[in-house]
Amino acid sequence: MSNNPTNKVKFGLKNTHVARLTENADKTFSFGTPRSLPGSVNLSLEAQGEMEPFYADDGVYYRSISNNGYSGDLELALVPDWFREEYLREILDDNGVLIESANITDPIYFALMFEFSGDKHKIRHVMYKCSVSRPSVSSQTKEASSTPGTETLAITCDPLADGMVKGKSTSDVDSTVYTNWFTEVYVPELTEEQLNGGSGTAVLTALSIASVTLNPTFDAAKTSYTATVTGESSAITATAASGVGVAITVNGNSIASGGNATWATGENIVKVTASKAGSASTTYTVIVTKS
């Protein structure tokens, strides 16, 4: 899907899926396997939040903006029984009858995924923390020409504890991510700084020089290290998160991650830089002493 032309219009609704959300006390979360929710007719979600002006010096001095997610309606041909049991918490008794209880009010949260068509490519969406309230009960007598009735779920999509609300594929989406969109819930690798409005900083996730011990032990937040070697050369391996580039130099000469560095007697300067477009880069320095 990379570098596809951008859409000019969107239309249609299909491939609606849900995946149960589990949130933990430490603000971590996970999702179950997505399940198809068939019969999507219409989805309408309105942004929730306020833009409040603060007045000073006879004008708008500052505006505070809140993002409270989305709320609206999901219209289906028919709400499946399994969805009623799992997400509306209706009780399936031993005789195969679904029972609604007024005593069960706690919502079950889930990710909602769906797809819009476009003039160039399909757009895939995920809302990370959704809940629904029970639909109305209605139908009508059959006439000479009948239009099937539908059922509408009132749906609310809240932010996760870390602030994430939703995701949407673009024309440059990774092909594997796009293909697996309805197989597992896509969760991006974003830093807290990025989720709070900053561009983030590119860092390494691991750095090693053969079996040599780094002093101190590698930590992504620490950028200065020392090491001692006795051999003529050692392999340097540096890894980072997806999308982060890694560049390594030894005494000013470039080598690839996993390649062998040749050591001169005395001090050798290893520099490893992690970089990503739109983010601040980080350079790690290792002074390697060959005795």
The answer on 149 and 23 residing in a single domain is: yes
pLDDT (tens digit per residue) in 272-284:
999 987 788 999 9
Look up the CATH number of the domain holding residue 218.
2.60.40
pLDDT tier at 11, thresholds 50, 70, 90:
confident
Do residues 140 and 245 both lie within one domain?
no
What single string gives the DSSP state of each residue in the chain?
A: -TTPPPPS-EEEEEEEEEEEEEE-TTS-EEE---EE---EEEEEEEE---EEEEEETTEEEEEEE----EEEEEEESS--HHHHHHTS--EE-TTS-EE--TT------EEEEEEEEESSS-EEEEEEEEEEEPPP-------SS-----EEEEEEEEPPTTS--EEE--TT--HHHHHTTTTS-------HHHHTT---B--EEEEEETTBPPBS---TT--EEEEEE-SSEEEEEEEESTT-EEEEEETTEEE-TTPEEEPPSEEEEEEEEEE-TTSB-EEEEEEEEE-
pLDDT band, very low/low/confident/very high, at 190 (cuts 50, 70, 90): confident
Specify whether 55 is located in the same domain as 175.
yes
Same domain, yes or no: 180 and 58: yes
Residue 3 pLDDT exceeds 70: no
181 or 147: which carries more pLDDT confidence? 181
* Residues 134 and 222 grouped into a single domain: no
Domain annotation covers residue 112: yes
Q: Which one is predicted more confidently, 162 or 10? A: 162
Question: Which pLDDT belongs to residue 201?
Answer: 82
Q: Are residues 90 and 224 in the same domain?
A: no
What is the value of pTM for the model shown?
0.65
Bigger pLDDT: 68 or 271? 271
Q: Are residues 150 and 212 in the same domain?
A: no
Q: pLDDT by residue (tens digit) across 139-170?
A: 776 776 667 889 999 999 999 998 999 999 99
Domain span at residue 232 reads: 204-290
Q: Which tops the pLDDT comparison, 165 or 200? A: 165
Query: Is the domain of 49 the same as that of 176?
Result: yes
Per-residue pLDDT reduced to its tens digit, 245-269? 999 999 999 999 999 999 999 999 9
Domain final position from 160, 188, 216: 188
Please report whether residue 68 resides in a domain.
yes
Looking at per-residue pLDDT, the higher value among 191 and 144 belongs to: 191
129, 162, 188 - which closes a domain: 188
Lowest-pLDDT range of 7-21, 96-110, 136-150, 194-208: 136-150
Q: What is the pLDDT of residues 169-180, one digit of tens each?
A: 998 899 999 999
Average pLDDT, the chain: 89
Residue 4 lies in a domain: no
Q: Say whether pLDDT at 132 is over 90.
A: yes
Q: Is residue 236 part of a domain?
A: yes
Residues 84 and 211 in one domain: no
How many folded domains does the chain comprise? 2
Residues 91 and 165 both lie in one domain: yes
In the structure, what pLDDT confidence band is assigned to residue 1 with cuts at 50, 70 and 90?
A: very low
Residues 96 and 181 reside in one and the same domain: yes
